[in-house]
Amino acid sequence: MTAQAHDFATIDLNELRSAIGRPDAVTDTAEAIAEHSHDWWPMNATWRHQGKAPYRPDAVVFARTAEEIAATLKWAGEAGIPVTAWGLASSVVGGPLATRGGIILDTTGMDRVLEIDTDNMHVTVEAGVNGGTLEDQLSELDLTLNHSPQSLYRSTVGGWLATRATGQFSSRYGGIEDLCVGFKAVLADGTKVEIGGAPRMAVGPDLRHVLIGSEGCLGVITEVTLRLFPLAEVRELRTVAFPDVASGVAAMRDIMLSGLRPFLLRFYDLAEARHAMKDSAFGSPVMFIGAEGSADMAACEIAELLKVCTRNGGEDIGLAGAEGWMGRRFDFSTIENVLNSHGGVAETIEVANTWSGISGTYNALTEAMKPFADEVLGHFSHAYSNGVSLYVILLGKADDPAGAEARMKQIWEVANRAALDSGAVLSHHHGTGLARNDHVREALGSSWDLYSRLKEAMDPSGILNPGKLGS
């Protein structure tokens, strides 16, 4: 996690401009460099408070087409200059920070919606489109992506694929890997590829997965086709109180094995329930459940979901908690307010484990984090037939921003260790970025060799987002 020296000479901006063929695509103004030196990793807040920017690029390319991206990569490959793709920088792990300087490739100028195909229920967009803008446009047509990360309005579709993102309705609709039909990308040497597009295909390995989750280290995604869904006719919501964490987790497991398909399934431990319910005196862990579809289907499904909860000790406490959360589901202000304060310490750490391992991970991670924060909150929000994610939030205060920076470094070292030692995956959906880079090789185990061969073959000069995914 330390700043690395540049290992190339200066960038000849005029050469780069003529390679791209549009002079105003390239800039090195102080303003553009500053804007592309920080992402949403909370560590950046401590740097900003100290006037630090340890990962500054040397130039920014504002790409408008796949051809401009291809020209940039070809030129940079020949000159040995690092290139890091940039969406809306909502990464909370330092993903788009230019660890070795070089070029930031800003994709947000590629924001056109290219086709809405209501026969096949696909939408094709340029990779830099803002997810929230797209979703708003679709909802005017009574359509939805059913991909709803908390960062919907502050992230790009290309960024979703690159980080293997997942959304708040994933227990029914899956993560971005399930919602992505296909995409176009540019490889490190400037070659353009198009992958996928069919409902399913058995022609060799599924090559979409080479780039989904590759964090800008294997190619740059330029165009994406996602599934579309009609907006649900009706949504039924309920709030269920549970006596303890174990009973709520058991209910989630039973729900995922019951054949029910809740679009909303989130369970908060006592500490986070008080935040989720906006009631500092709230007295138990709490679950928000939701069913959607036709009125009859949603009514039937919510009744069945409540039966499973009741069998596991849950008590239906009405609509308000879940409804309130739905209205605030993009709100990040609790964490933002802490980070904006002098010496504020806040972090979000998401992992996943099997049903038999998740309690051990919950206990290990929340205990390991207690020395570093005033509040350690936990919730389980993405469930599968075989396990569930765990999201831990830390809120605290150090004496000053330098103290906060040191504390947050410790948090990641201890959290990564605790997660791996408890048998959890290193990241469930934020990706690895800088926060987890030192643990990627260990997390991939024997498959690290396969990934490093792919990296060597696809990016032999190592120009794509160096310092990430174990490099």
Ligand X SMILES: Cc1cc2nc3c(=O)[nH]c(=O)nc-3n(C[C@H](O)[C@H](O)[C@H](O)COP(=O)(O)OP(=O)(O)OC[C@H]3O[C@@H](n4cnc5c(N)ncnc54)[C@H](O)[C@@H]3O)c2cc1C
Residues that bind ligand X (CB under 6 A): 39-40, 84-92, 95-96, 107, 127, 149-151, 155-156, 158-160, 162-163, 165-167, 215-216, 220-221, 332, 429-431, 465
Q: What is residue 213's three-state secondary structure?
A: coil
347 class by beta-carbon count within 10 Å (0-12 exposed, 13-18 middle, 19+ buried): buried
Identity of the residue, 44 or 284, whose beta carbon is nearer to ligand X in the bound complex:
44
Q: Minimal distance in Å, beta carbon 220 to ligand X?
A: 4
Q: Minimal distance in Å, beta carbon 430 to ligand X?
A: 5
Identity of the residue, 134 or 309, whose beta carbon is nearer to ligand X in the bound complex:
134
Q: Minimal distance in Å, beta carbon 84 to ligand X?
A: 5
Q: Minimal distance in Å, beta carbon 160 to ligand X?
A: 4
Identity of the residue, 360 or 384, whose beta carbon is nearer to ligand X in the bound complex:
384
Identity of the residue, 42 or 314, whose beta carbon is nearer to ligand X in the bound complex:
42
Q: Based on C-alpha coordinates, what's the Rg of the chain?
A: 22
Identity of the residue, 282 or 451, whose beta carbon is nearer to ligand X in the bound complex:
451
The beta strands (E) that lie in 41-132 are given as 59-62, 83-86, 103-106, 113-117, 122-126
First to last CA, the chain: 12
Q: What tokens does 416 get?
A: 């990564």
Interatomic CA distance for residues 60 and 96, integer angstroms = 12
Computed from CA positions of residues 393, 133, 262, 117, in that sequence, does the dihedral angle turn out positive or negative?
Answer: negative
Q: Are 101 and 126 in contact (CB under 8 A)?
A: no
Q: What is residue 221's three-state secondary structure?
A: strand
Which residues are 230's β-sheet partners? 143
Q: Minimal distance in Å, beta carbon 123 to ligand X?
A: 16
Q: Minimal distance in Å, beta carbon 238 to ligand X?
A: 22
What's the CA angle centered on 251, arms 249 and 255, to 5 degrees? 120
Q: Minimal distance in Å, beta carbon 315 to ligand X?
A: 28
Identity of the residue, 182 or 431, whose beta carbon is nearer to ligand X in the bound complex:
431
Q: What tokens does 410 get?
A: 């410790």
Identity of the residue, 39 or 292, whose beta carbon is nearer to ligand X in the bound complex:
39
Q: Minimal distance in Å, beta carbon 316 to ligand X?
A: 26
Q: Are 414 and 372 in contact (CB under 8 A)?
A: yes
Identity of the residue, 108 or 247, whose beta carbon is nearer to ligand X in the bound complex:
108
Q: What tokens does 431 get?
A: 């990706």
- For residue 464, which of 78, 83, 185 has the smallest C-alpha distance? 83
Identity of the residue, 46 or 247, whose beta carbon is nearer to ligand X in the bound complex:
46
Q: Pairing relation of β-strands 59-62 and 103-106?
A: parallel
Q: Minimal distance in Å, beta carbon 381 to ligand X?
A: 9
- For residue 353, which of 374, 331, 384 has the smallest C-alpha distance? 384
